[in-house]
Structure 1
Amino acid sequence: MIGTRTMARLLWAPSLLLLLPLGAAQAADLQRLGESLKAAASAQDMTLEWSDLTGNDASATLNNVVLRFESVDDPVEVGTVTLTDISEEADHFLIGEARLPDYNVTEEGVSVSASGISVNGLEVPFATSAEREAGLLLYDRAGLDSVSITQDGTQLFELSGLNVTLTKPESEDDPLEFSGTANSFSADLSKVEDVRTKAVLDQLGLQTISGDFNVAGSWNLQSGRLVVDQYDLKVENAGTLGITSDLSGYTPAFIKSLRETSEKMANAPEDQQSAQSLAMLGLMQQLSFNRASIRFEDEGLTRKILEMIASQQNTTADSLANQAKAIVPFALAQLNMPDFASSVSQAVNAFLDDPQNIEITAAPATGVPFAQIMATAMSTPQALIKQLGVSVTANE
């Protein structure tokens, strides 16, 4: 079985190689560029090293690049990184393209390979800039042609055509827009070791799965308004899970404070944990919840689940669905919220009769601070339904 530490090392490397840049010109100063690259990595809790940095006014090569992550013991040997079309702007370096070498590593019989890793329009804040302090790095496009995971010669996972694009704000008041796609992915679940999980996957016909992924949204760096309009994961012949969210207060300054507070909590002695927890609670007061939704578009999975459970109970899928429709009202009655219970029951009935889609939405009249949500959850959990304006709909 793959160890947790080994899997973290295998998977963190290709993903963080891609995410590292996330975030009338003059000729570039290579020494200052190197300092800024290291400072940018440090702001992301990483250490970036290389044997030498060579180049000219417009291009540079970093040889024998090594990345070190605070949460991973062993360093990642990246290799040669090339930077082209480099220029200096008012407060940052602009790199036309940063291209990383193909990545291949094998540990404990598990191999991870990634190819076609590049970032275009990368902005690297000067080492002394406020943007660097906030750990904020921007780019126009980041891409990964393919990544695969194999174990003992058997391919377990493959993803191709991963692209992330950012539309930088034209002014401080405009939001940063982002979108991302993965053209396709596939996974072999037949190698799952847990016997019960494997049996469920076999009955559902999900020994192998394939699909795609799409995400889109915006982020206002000044107000901290982060809106995820689309976060869709589609699995062929099963369905699409879609998530949206809208929150305020998620500014670069908040991110920096959150990182610092988390580090203090991790390193604080036991007698100081309460104080650090209160500090984290105070930090959460800066975040407000505006809206969120979880939606499932069915493509056959619901019927498969009903048939699987029905076979275990020696009944039919239709009979099982009717039993579920009868149980839901009784389960919700303890909330003492008849209107909510009635609307949920209607949605569940409609979905079980004709599985098209079902959606849970939380939309309070005004933004609710996260600290207030946490307090309600600890005192009167059922009150969250009214506080967050929770509703359930189906086939809409």
Structure 2
Amino acid sequence: MSTTKTIQLLLLSGVAAAALSAPASALEAQAFVDRVAEVYRTMGYELSFGEATLEGDTITVDGLTVEVVGVDEEPMEIDTTLTFRGVSETEDGAYWAEELTVPDVDTVFTTEEDEAEGRVTLSDIRVEDLYFPAGDAASAIAQVQSFGAASTGPLSVFRNGEEVVRVESMEARSTFTPEQGTDELVDVDSTLAINGIWADLSTVSEEDPESGAVIEQLGLTEINGSITQHMTWSMADGHMVMDEFVFDFDDLGALDITFDITGFTPEVLDQIYAMQAQMGGEEMTEEQAQAQMMSGMALMQGVNIVSVAIRYDDASLADSLLDFFAEDAGTDRATFVDGLKQQLPLMIEGLGIPALNDLIVPPVSAFLDDPQSLEIAARPASPTSLLVLMAAAANPAGLIPALGLTVTANQ
């Protein structure tokens, strides 16, 4: 065989190999995005991906359309490139991706209210340790493990060229026991941190002069703060504890929301997803609505409240508000506060629940005299189901001891 013919044969073999391998790569990339769409469909989202291509273990997707099942709104189109790196498929048909990244966002828009030019920038968007289980419908216990971490770099919002909102970074992270991707998940430990929140409220007066004047008098033209959250969830007994969800703003105050519930198991979440799927966005008949209500009540029977609390710690906001409203009323602060304390029992009397008077008046009065902290908490003597509390709500006076409701100040 001549050298020329040998080279031609090799070239033809290469072309044939490429032609044969291309469909397989495209099919694998398409199978991956189909699996992603199937998993999120169980969660109530319809995802439509653009063209997916595979190179090595990286799958690139050209755009995405997101639609929420049962919500009558226009689908959200994400016209950007999604890059999944470190993609692999397990023997059972599940997929993993080490990382998903999205190009930095830089979007300009015009507000409808005053036709001001707005601009949003967001950088370093990534999701790590993505898991898409096999099967027709992803269980709740699998969906909980859908990603290990998600984070972004700085977020900025501009109005007519001036920066008005900035966030330094955002991160959500979960730790799984045992490792992520198991059907025998024991518990999850999750954190959320939104750091370096800054906002310039001095421009509010351009849209709302009255509110802008109040903001300026309260000294709120610039705010700085952060948001942090910590939560644990045990699968076996559905014990979910959010021991911190703090909105903390410098020189203003901190709001902390906590709760402790039991019985919120993955099986309960599966039933909630199934109920959402049955609704399907279509109008239900009266019989169907009643059936849904009964199913919901059955679910609540197993979910128990151990405690719920909302606590506010003042760092000057309450002081500033009392000073402002006293001045606005044309009086001194002490006189204004005394007037509020006298009105408080009358306001509670209008609710028709006498027991609230002893519960609310003393701590709120103490807070008005010296704003430090105020907490509203429900701590039943023993874990109490949501269904029992709903029944107790028919007698509001009886609901107070059933909840173990307390209001405390400056503690």
Give the TM-score of the pair, scaled to structure 2: 0.78
Aligned length: 363
Q: Secondary structure at the match of 2:123?
A: strand
Partner of 2:16: none
Partner of 2:376: 360
Cα–Cα, structure 1 residues 382 and 155, in superposed 2: closer, same or farther, change >3 Å? Answer: farther
Report the equivalent of 1:303: 319
2:193 corresponds, among 181, 192, 204, to: 181
Q: Which amino acid aligns with 1:395?
A: N
Aligned AA (1:237)? D
Structure 1 counterpart of 2:34, one-letter code? E
**Gap change, CA 1:265 and 1:76, over 3 Å in 2:** closer
The residue that corresponds to 2:18 in the other structure is none
1:234 aligns with 2:234: no
Shift of the 41–138 alpha-carbon distance from structure 1 to 2, 3 Å rule, reads closer
Contact 1:60 / 1:84 at 8 angstroms: preserved in 2? yes
- 2:251 & 2:105 partners in 1: Cα distance? 32
In the alignment, what sits opposite 1:336? 354
Q: Find 1:369's aligned residue among 382, 385, 406.
A: 385
| 2:247 paired with 1:202 | no
After superposing the two structures, state which structure 1 stretch, 361-370 or 130-139, moved more: 130-139
Answering whether residue 233 of structure 2 is matched by residue 215 of structure 1, we say: no
Who is 1:94 aligned against?
Answer: 96
Q: Is the 8 A contact 1:94 1:122 kept in 2?
A: yes
In structure 2, C-alpha distance between the alignment counterparts of 1:389 and 1:265, rounded to whole Å: 39
Structure 1 Cα separation of the partners of residues 84 and 254 of structure 2: 38
What residue number does 2:23 align with? none
Residue of structure 2 equivalent to 1:5:
none
Alignment of 1:226-375 (within 5 A): 226-262=240-276, 264=279, 266-269=281-284, 271-272=286-287, 273-329=289-345, 331-332=347-348, 335-337=353-355, 341-342=357-358, 344-375=360-391
TM-score with structure 1 setting the length = 0.81
* AA of the residue aligned to 1:65: G
Distance in 1 separating the partners of 2:60 and 2:364: 57
Q: What percent of counterpart residues are identical?
A: 24
Bigger Rg, structure 1 or 2? 2
Q: Compare 125-134 and 307-316 and name the one that shifted more.
A: 125-134
Equivalent in the alignment of 1:60: 58
After superposition, give the CA deviation of every residue in 1:23-80 in whole Å (9 maximum; x if it has no partner): xxxxxx6554333222223223131412122122xx2122312132224414322422
Partner SS state of residue 219, structure 2: coil
Paired amino acid for 1:390: L
How far apart in 2 are the matches of 1:305 and 1:373?
35
Structure 2 portions without partners, runs of 5+: 1-27, 112-117
Cα distance in structure 2, aligned partners of 1:258 and 1:336: 38
Gaps of 5+ in 1: 1-28
Q: What corresponds to 2:39 in structure 1?
A: 40
Dislocated runs of 4+, deviation >6 Å = none
Other structure's SS at 2:37 match: helix
Task: After superposition, give the CA deviation of every residue in 1:273-320 in whole Å (9 maximum; x if it has no partner).
Answer: 444334333333342222111111111011111111111222111222
Mean CA deviation greater in 121-130 or 290-299: 121-130
Structure 1 position 393 matched with structure 2 position 405? no
Distance verdict in 2 for CA 1:304–1:280, change over 3 Å: same
Bigger shift: residues 180-189 or 208-217: 180-189
**Aligned-partner Cα distance in 2 for 1:53–1:148:** 32
For residue 120 of structure 2, the aligned residue among 93, 112, 119 is 112
Instruction: Tell which deviates more after alignment, 357-366 or 47-56.
Output: 47-56
Task: Provide closer, same or farther for how the CA distance between residues 336 and 265 of structure 1 changes in structure 2, counting only shifts above 3 A.
Answer: farther
Moved more, 177-186 or 39-48: 39-48
Contact residue 62 and residue 81 of structure 2 kept, 8 A: yes
State the shift of 1:133 in Å.
8.9
Which residue is 2:76 aligned to? 75
Corresponding residue of 2:178 = 170
RMSD: 2.9
